[in-house]
Structure 1
Amino acid sequence: MWVVATAGHVDHGKSTLVRSLTGMEPDRWAEERRRGMTIDLGFAWTQLPSGATVAFVDVPGHERFVPNMLAGVGPVPAAMLVVAADEGWKPQSAEHLAALDALGVRHALLVVSRADLADPAPARAQALEHLAKTTIGDVESVAVSAVTGAGLDELRAALDRLGSALPAPDLGAPVRLWVDRAFTIRGSGTVVTGTLGAGRLTAESDLELHSSPVRVRALQSLGSPVSTVDAVARVAVNLRGVERSAVARGDALVTPGRYTFTDLIDVRIHGDPVAGLPSTSVFHIGSAAVAAHVRPLGTDTARLRLARVLPLHVGDRALLRDPGLHRVPGGVTVLDVSPPPLRRRGAAATRAVDLSTMDGRPSPEDELRRRKLVHADELTRMGVTAPGAGWLLDPAHEESLRARLAAEVRAYAEQHPVDPDPPVDAIRSRLGLPDRALVERLVAPPLTIRDGRIGTGSRLPEKLQRALNAVRADLDSHPFAAPEADRLAALGLGPKELAAAAKAGLLLRIADGIVLLPSAPAAAVARLALLEQPFTLSEARQALGTTRRVAVPLLEFLHRRGATRRLPDGRHTVAAPPS
């Protein structure tokens, strides 16, 4: 299917032409038929000589209904510009063409209508001259009369040629269906319609509306139920569990996780100088029309604060319209859908320089360079193909972070000489990183990660080492006589120092304030295995040559390790005597 929007001045015969081509009535409302003019969007379709189907989005031509016109033209890839032979180029002809130009429409057909009332040549020449100055450029033109039928066959053939020249839609692209109508059908619920410009819709598809999940109940295209709709196509979507009041023209159904929902964007303006734009304009994209506060940044770049959130991509084409003057100041290319804040002095000027290098073409390398650190999912939502999964780092920034990490680890070790290996989360916080996995990625030899800490391989301070040597010497001669608290205090061994020694594998802490050599558990089991099984606490204490203060926590330690077992009568037994 090809989808074509009409464009042109009011009462130049757009709807009459569509009616003649399709045999359908595009004007949906009695008021439109009574007044003889299109007020809202109309839709009709027909089969062309090639067998292809063309669907028309018939838009209003009156200046009061330009927002409705833009809602119809916005999502459509091609236009049929209609100019009446007896009236020629008119103000709304110019405004509609300016809108097509601003939106970057490149495929169009000029139709000179009412050729039975005047020579079409002057109107044709005038219109072609205007078209040649826009993105549309040179186009085919056809003169017709809907009254006599003259030229209609030529128009159908020209529409065939226009459709065949359109670029093939990207069926793998994410869906963004801009809603142009929303209504309720009894027994089915809420139905929305729109032009599917890219991607594929299926019944039971999961989509997002206003960042919330919704599900498709059923689909129709050209009035018939279908299970799948491929772009480009007119489609009606029956939504499951969505109230009619929750959706309106200008909303969009999108593929989950594939668009950034934002109300702040940086853009390039094509048209009037940014400095001359009104501070408040209307931002048109798809079928949406949203008030936008304009903050100039560079000569042709600006920041737009939108009145509501929209699902956008880098590279989206839109337009700004000054409703007070009934004109289109310029087209818009979206450069950034997640721009940085401008809080510091000079930030706006710096941002203007950055924007001057951006062209709106999504580039993962450029986004990484600018953002330094970004999650792949965020890039995807921006419309940028992510070069990997998870957190992505700009190579230069990664090297800078690795150097900073090494410096922070050294600083931590200087501040904590007894326990020099910093926790991963402590370094993550110092570097301002969002995920500890990034710290683990940055750690490189000689640094290591073990038990949630970054190992530095640092030697213990000399004073601490001498104190530990003294304790170890005591334990070498009496392995189960854990030093008393006053002995540890005299050596300067408090809880931190003992924890550092245990971490270094120099001592084994079996309870608070009670330390033995790391070999003590195995030696204790060997001695206890020589006792008659089972044995009492007193017998264990005597066999180990120690006090109750040490024997009780040591047996508890051995129980936790599974080396010994406590029996119901309070006695103990070695679980697995050594071989």
Structure 2
Amino acid sequence: MQVVATAGHVDHGKSTLVEALTGANPDRLAEERRRGLTIELGYCWTSWPEVGEVAFVDVPGHERFLTTMLSGVGSVPAALFVVAADDPWMPQAAEHLAALDALRVRHAVVAVTRADLADPGPAAARAAAEVARTSLAGAPVVAVSGRTGMGLDDLRSALTTMVASLPDPDPQADVRLWVDRRFTVRGSGTVVTGTLPAGTVRVGDTLVLGDTPLRVRSVQALGRDRSAVSGVARVALNLTGRVDDLGRGSVLVTPGAWHHTTVVDVRISGDDRPPVAPVLHIGAADVGVRCRPLADDLVRLTLARPLPLRIGDRALLRDPGRRMIWRADVLDPDPPRFRRRGAAARRALQLAGADGTPHLADELARRGLLHRQRLRQLGIPLARGEHLTVGPWLVAPGLARTVADRLPTLVQAHARTHPLDPAAPLTVLASQLRLPTPDLVRALVRPPLEVVGGRVIAPGADGLPPKIRKAVEQVRRDLSAAPFAAPTADRLRELGLDDRALGAAERSGRLWRAGPGIVLLPDAADTAVELLGELDQPFTTSAARERLGTTRRVVLPLLDRLDKAGRTRRLPDDRREIVR
């Protein structure tokens, strides 16, 4: 299916033309038919052999209903722009054309209606000249009469050619459906309609309205029940759940796939500057915003309510008082806060080269750090590059160097303030570096620093006296050959390692006490879980002892520690199993 929106001045024959093309009247309200004036959005469809199903969104042309018009064209990739042969170029035609240009609609056909009432030549020439200055440049101009049928075949041919050239959206894309109508069907409940630009909606899917989940009970497209519909398509969804806040301008999205924002940095295009409080139009939504200039064409918008936006989204800013429109290209829907004087100017420099095309390297350079989930939410494609990947995190090369350079100073400072516990915990360093997880610190530690047992330590900074350090290193050498052959009490006394010395060795991250008098390497718990996981589950204490190559003196307190840590589970028959 493809979707085409009408545009043009009031009473220039948009609805008549849609009816002539589809055989159905898009004006569904009695008042619309009585007055001959489109007030709400209308929908009709047809099927042409060359391109299949084509739906039309018929929008009102009166200036009082511009908001409704914008909600109809906001998600539609193509337009049928209508002017009348027996009227001059009209203000609303100019405003609609400006809106289509700002939205960068590139696929269009211009219809000069009422060609049976006046010579269409002057109107066609004026329309072609006006369109040539916009994104619709090159659109074919066709003279037509919806009343007599004159030129309808030519118009249908031009529309067919245009529709055939439209790109096919990704059916696997995340869903974002801007609701342009809500109503209630007796026996079914709440139904909403909208233009699905990409992705697929299936019966049984869950979509979210903000934080509210709504289940799709049924799906219709072009008046027929469907099990699934992929964009571009006109869809009607029967929804269940908390629907109180659902209405025109609402947006339904794939759960977890979108970033809902109230602050967004955009680049604007248009004459003059927008006012302090314009209206933002995107999809079928219109939201009041506060506009703060950053540079000549860069502004920060603060929205009255959250919207799910991505880098590259195109919106409109409108000044209703002056009837002016600006294009707004979304550069960053998740911008940093301004905390210091001059932050706005610095932000403008950061965005100087941004054009609304999301590039991973550029976004990482600006942000330093990104989670894979946030990549998806902001619409940034994952790509190869010089960044560091740590689990779900991507780290910019610049941030990686900065953190690696700061770590020695932070570790030394910790050692000075904690002389008996000089090894700096990864969690402490992560907090000091404002990193979201200690795993990032671990990945950015560089020699001569060393990570031992969840702590970062500098050479010779373990706080152990030379004699104790020598004894601890001997124990570590013995354990490296037999990781679970813990030294006996006699051996520890022989080496001069009493409880106080062992406590210092454990704090330094050089050893780990699994129980009273049981000393192992710091990673012994991880190694034990890995080895015990190779046994048939559940396993006995005897099987664990044999697999670890140790004695009951060691295996019993070790298993007890693993139980308490939630890494093994003790069963009523005293057997155990690994907790996956």
- Shared fold (TM-score greater than 0.5)? yes
TM superposition score category, shorter chain reference: 0.7 to 0.9
Give the one of 275, 279, 285 matched to 1:278: 275
**2-structure distance, mates of 1:420, 1:79:** 69
384-393 vs 332-341, which moves further? 384-393
**1-structure distance, mates of 2:509, 2:11:** 91
Gaps of 5+ in 1: 470-477, 483-490, 519-555, 563-579
Give the one of 289, 295, 302 matched to 2:286: 289
User: Contact 1:5 / 1:73 at 8 angstroms: preserved in 2?
Assistant: yes
**1-structure distance, mates of 2:331, 2:147:** 47
**2-structure distance, mates of 1:481, 1:157:** 93
Other-structure match for 1:499: 503
CA separation of 1:34 and 1:447: change in aligned 2, threshold 3 A: same
Other-structure match for 1:320: 317
Other-structure match for 2:564: none
Q: Deviations over 1:282-330 (max 9, x none)?
A: 10000000011111111011000111110111000111111112232x1
Q: Is 1:348 the equivalent of 2:339?
A: no
- Give percent identity, aligned residues only: 51
Deviation of 1:222 (Å): 0.3
Q: Is 1:210 the equivalent of 2:214?
A: no
Aligned residue-pair number: 505
User: Contact 1:479 / 1:517 at 8 angstroms: preserved in 2?
Assistant: no
Other-structure match for 1:397: 399
**1-structure distance, mates of 2:425, 2:297:** 48
Other-structure match for 2:532: none
Q: Deviations over 1:143-170 (max 9, x none)?
A: 1112211111111111101101212222
**1-structure distance, mates of 2:556, 2:182:** 71
**2-structure distance, mates of 1:23, 1:427:** 70
User: Contact 2:79 / 2:109 at 8 angstroms: preserved in 1?
Assistant: yes
**2-structure distance, mates of 1:193, 1:176:** 12
CA separation of 1:238 and 1:505: change in aligned 2, threshold 3 A: closer
Deviation of 1:448 (Å): 3.2
Deviation of 1:418 (Å): 2.5
**2-structure distance, mates of 1:232, 1:157:** 21
User: Contact 1:501 / 1:507 at 8 angstroms: preserved in 2?
Assistant: yes
User: Contact 2:179 / 2:193 at 8 angstroms: preserved in 1?
Assistant: yes
**1-structure distance, mates of 2:558, 2:206:** 52
**2-structure distance, mates of 1:428, 1:408:** 11
Q: Deviations over 1:399-448 (max 9, x none)?
A: 22112122211222233233221222121122221111111211234433
SS at match of 1:409: helix
User: Contact 2:464 / 2:504 at 8 angstroms: preserved in 1?
Assistant: no
CA separation of 1:210 and 1:440: change in aligned 2, threshold 3 A: same
Other-structure match for 2:69: 69
Deviation of 1:21 (Å): 1.4
**2-structure distance, mates of 1:333, 1:510:** 59
Other-structure match for 2:536: none
Q: Is 1:113 the equivalent of 2:117?
A: no
CA separation of 1:143 and 1:408: change in aligned 2, threshold 3 A: same
SS at match of 2:422: coil
TM-score, normalization: structure 2?
A: 0.81
**1-structure distance, mates of 2:12, 2:519:** 99
Gaps of 5+ in 2: 384-388, 472-488, 521-552, 560-580
User: Contact 1:418 / 1:496 at 8 angstroms: preserved in 2?
Assistant: no
Other-structure match for 1:536: none
**1-structure distance, mates of 2:150, 2:297:** 46
**2-structure distance, mates of 1:468, 1:209:** 63
CA separation of 1:135 and 1:416: change in aligned 2, threshold 3 A: same
User: Contact 2:422 / 2:508 at 8 angstroms: preserved in 1?
Assistant: no
Other-structure match for 1:18: 18
**2-structure distance, mates of 1:496, 1:120:** 100
Deviation of 1:131 (Å): 0.3
Q: Deviations over 1:498-517 (max 9, x none)?
A: 621565799999999xx999
Other-structure match for 1:172: 172
Deviation of 1:376 (Å): 1.4
Residues 405-554 of structure 1: pairs in structure 2 closer than 5 A: 405-458=407-460, 465=467, 499-501=503-505
Deviation of 1:453 (Å): 2.1
Q: Is 1:381 the equivalent of 2:377?
A: yes
438-447 vs 495-504, which moves further? 495-504
